[in-house]
Amino acid sequence: MGRIAALTRNPVMIALVASLAIAGCASKKTPNSAADLGLSGAGAATPGSAQDFTVNIGDRIFFDTDSSAIRADAQTTLSRQAQWLNQYKQYAIVVEGHADERGTREYNLALGARRAAATRDFLIAKGVSAQRLKTISYGKERPVAVCDDISCWSQNRRAVTTLGGAGS
Amino acid sequence: MKRFFATLLMIGTVAIGLSGLATLPAKALVEIDVNKGNIEPLPIAITDFQGGDALGAEISGIVSADLKRSGLFAPIDKSAFIEKISNPDASPRFDDWKVINAQALVTGSVGKEADGRIRAQYRLWDTFAGQQLSGEQFFANDANTRRVAHIIADAIYERLTGEKGYFDTRVVFIDESGAKNARKKRLAIMDQDGANVRYLSDGRAIVLTPRFSPNRQEITYMSYESGQPKVYLLQIETGQRELVGNFPGMTFAPRFSPDGQKVIMSLLRDDGNSNIFAMHLRSRATTRLTNSAAIDTSPSYSPDGSKVVFTSDRGGRAQIYVMGADGSGQTRISFGDGVYSTPVWSPRGDLIAFTKQTGGEFQIGVMRTDGSGERILSTGFQQEGPTWAPNGRVLMFFRDSNGGPKLVSVDLTGRNEQPIPTANFASDPAWSPLLE
């Protein structure tokens, strides 16, 4: 609990933790991507690569309980995302909306969809073309953190901006 | 897909009487009043059915387990039995059963017909009144042994409570396996007691929220198989699947109308909110029922089809609302302290079951259809998604504990909670109507 609380106060650290989780997951799905993602070192990512996006920009934002409002810290992340996405226009984008487990299944599907839409709308307002953006809700079906307390729930209430339609 | 509904017609039934005894005037007969608040389970002796070797004991074991799990019956240990039943068609020695306080006694026999079918018959006796209460004979093919036992349990339950039983039913659910952050979810179907599990999907795509059609032949559910989460229709016998409707966004939270002609569900709007639609399955005509800048989901029809109960957060947080089946007169009915969701209308029409989140816990409860008379039946750290037994007396839901979800049933008193055995984790149960 204490460690996680400290992490959430440090956006750089949380981005790093998140990117490791992604790399692990992506490497299972597409073996070739491990090399592409430059697992040898976070700072070594090629500018404009997916690894650059997840590590140096931050591919996810977090929400308060039962809320789809874009928090101040999330606005900072999304503004960085928009700037990057406007620079590297070759990527199609899927925004995934997720919920924590402290809600019922169907409601959380709707809540995840609302979070994905709010994230998409923010990116559009920052100049990202609506044509590049799709959304999908996973409700509470794909948690990244699997403990049964607040530290995990806050990491699961998220929207993840994925490039080229690759899943997280 | 194995054909297991096609065999239903093989079950025939014949009432059997016992000349002389069956015509006694019925007075002071044993019965259970299910409307009483605190029910003392009725002591009942269920003897092994005669003949058929292991089959006889198997059938009486299934009958006994069904009745016991209902919470209304207390089957007596066979080792206490004094009379050894040799002729199940003859009047038993009632004194031998009264002395062990068996208020009701079940005898029966099972055998094979020349054509290979199983013939099973039972007699239900009132030991203190000294008479037969009911007797029936059933024919079934081999594959339906357990069904015959469930049908006999239903007959006993109905004779002694005056209510329809719910044992000859099935449950569709989601079988879950694997790590929590990469769960494999499979559509599955089983008998209400956890037996005869069959898988209806292969686990490659996330599947959620299956629900039975009133005709017991179809399931509507949500699947990620196309990439986009959508509502599908599955024919259980043939395995044939089809997308329900051709909507641009995510469709979810499906349920059938009571006549089986329509599926009602949520459709995601482009602004991120969700509204409720009904689609006629044959004509494909689609009707919008809600149009709010809110989450409107989990719709469930009243059994007469005239109303729909649903969840909405239009008032801030999720609460339960009722509207006409055409979308008219949308009215909030839940006003308790907490967040309400997953409303499901009772098949009797009298109650709405729900999930309520309050004080960091999840509760399963019921309220009257105007929102009054709320009663909490079960409280836990993480549990949700009630489904009604067809007689409206028992709910099944799922509870997450020890690393994953399992199915649990609870009766309307809240006193009789029973685990439903499944090999893996299990969630999203939906109870079938009584089979036919």
Query: For residue range B206-227, what is the model confidence (pLDDT) as tens digits?
Result: 999 999 999 999 999 999 999 9
Judged by CB atoms closer than 8 Å, whether chains meet at B357 and A103 is answered as: yes
What pLDDT digit, counting tens, does each position of B283-314 carry?
A: 999 999 999 999 999 999 999 999 999 999 99
Band (pLDDT 50/70/90 cuts) for residue B37 is: low
Burial class (CB in 10 A: 0-12, 13-18, 19+), B423: exposed
Tokens found for residue A132: 């590049």
Q: Name the residue in chain A with its Cα closest to that of B274.
A: A110
The domain B170-431 having CATH identifier 2.120.10.30: the answer here is yes
Q: Which among A107, A121, A143 is the nearest to B341, CB-wise?
A: A107
User: Cα separation of B371 and B238, whole Å?
Assistant: 41
Helix (H) or strand (E) holding A21: helix A11-29
Greatest CA separation for chain B: 74
User: Cα separation of A93 and A134, whole Å?
Assistant: 6
Residue-level pLDDT at B18: 53
Angle, alpha carbons B373-B375-B379 (nearest 5°)? 160
Judged by CB atoms closer than 8 Å, whether chains meet at B250 and A109 is answered as: yes
Cβ contacts of B310 on chain A, cutoff 8 Å:
none
Judged by CB atoms closer than 8 Å, whether chains meet at A141 and B297 is answered as: no
Q: Which among B252, B270, B382 is the nearest to A109, CB-wise?
A: B252
The verdict on residue A168 lying in a domain is no
Q: What mean pLDDT do residues B389-414 have? A: 95
Band (pLDDT 50/70/90 cuts) for residue A36 is: very low
Judged by CB atoms closer than 8 Å, whether chains meet at B180 and A103 is answered as: no
pTM of the model: 0.88
Number of structural domains (chain A) is 1
User: Cα separation of B10 and B144, whole Å?
Assistant: 9
Q: Which among B208, B273, B427 is the nearest to A114, CB-wise?
A: B273
Cβ contacts of B181 on chain A, cutoff 8 Å:
142-146
Judged by CB atoms closer than 8 Å, whether chains meet at B317 and A66 is answered as: yes
Does the pLDDT of residue B258 top 60, yes or no?
Answer: yes
Q: Give me the domain span that covers residue A101.
A: 2-163
What is the predicted ipTM? Answer: 0.91
Closest CA to B144 of B116, B123, B125, B172: B116
What pLDDT digit, counting tens, does each position of B86-126 carry?
A: 888 899 999 999 999 999 999 999 998 888 888 999 999 99
Beta pairing, strands B339-345 & B351-358? antiparallel
User: Cα separation of B158 and B164, whole Å?
Assistant: 5
Q: What CATH superfamily classification does B6-161 receive? A: TolB, N-terminal domain (3.40.50.10070)
Taking the CA atoms of B335, B337, B338 and B342 in sequence, report the sign of the dihedral they define. negative
Asked if B165 contacts B153 with a C-beta cutoff of 8 angstroms, the reply is yes
Closest CA to B314 of B287, B356, B276: B276
Q: Which amino acid is at B20?
A: G
Beta bridge partners of B138: B13, B120
Residue-level pLDDT at A39: 45
Judged by CB atoms closer than 8 Å, whether chains meet at B268 and A110 is answered as: yes
Angle, alpha carbons B175-B178-B179 (nearest 5°)? 125
Q: What mean pLDDT do residues B328-343 have? A: 96
Judged by DSSP in three states, A30 sits in: coil
Cβ contacts of A66 on chain B, cutoff 8 Å:
317, 339
DSSP string, A86-115: HH-TT--EEEEEE--SSS-HHHHHHHHHHH
Residue-level pLDDT at B6: 32
Q: Name the residue in chain A with its Cα closest to that of B222.
A: A106
Q: Which of A95, A101, A109, A111 is the best residue to mutate to test the B interface, defined by the most B CB atoms within 10 Å of its own CB?
A: A109
Does the pLDDT of residue B67 top 80, yes or no?
Answer: yes
Q: Does B127 touch chain A (CB under 8 A)?
A: no
Residue-level pLDDT at B38: 64
Residue-level pLDDT at B116: 84
Q: Which among B266, B342, B382 is the nearest to A110, CB-wise?
A: B266
Residue-level pLDDT at B143: 76
> Between A and B, how many residue pairs show a Cβ–Cβ distance under 8 A?
93
Does the pLDDT of residue A43 top 50, yes or no?
Answer: yes
User: Cα separation of A168 and A155, whole Å?
Assistant: 14
Residue-level pLDDT at B3: 35
Residue-level pLDDT at B270: 93
Return the minimum-mean-pLDDT range out of A13-17, A69-73, B171-175, B325-329: A13-17
Beta bridge partners of B396: B387, B409
Tokens found for residue B26: 């019925």
Does the pLDDT of residue B324 top 70, yes or no?
Answer: yes
Asked if B123 contacts B106 with a C-beta cutoff of 8 angstroms, the reply is yes
- Assign residue A20 the CATH number of its domain: 3.30.1330.60
Question: Which distant-in-sequence residues (6+ apart) come within 8 Å of B234 by Cβ?
Answer: B187, B200, B218, B219, B220, B221, B240, B241
Q: Which amino acid is at B101?
A: N
Residue A145 distance to chain B (closest CA, Å): 7
Asked if B222 contacts B233 with a C-beta cutoff of 8 angstroms, the reply is no
Domain boundaries, chain B: 6-161, 170-431
Closest CA to A81 of A40, A43, A53, A121: A53
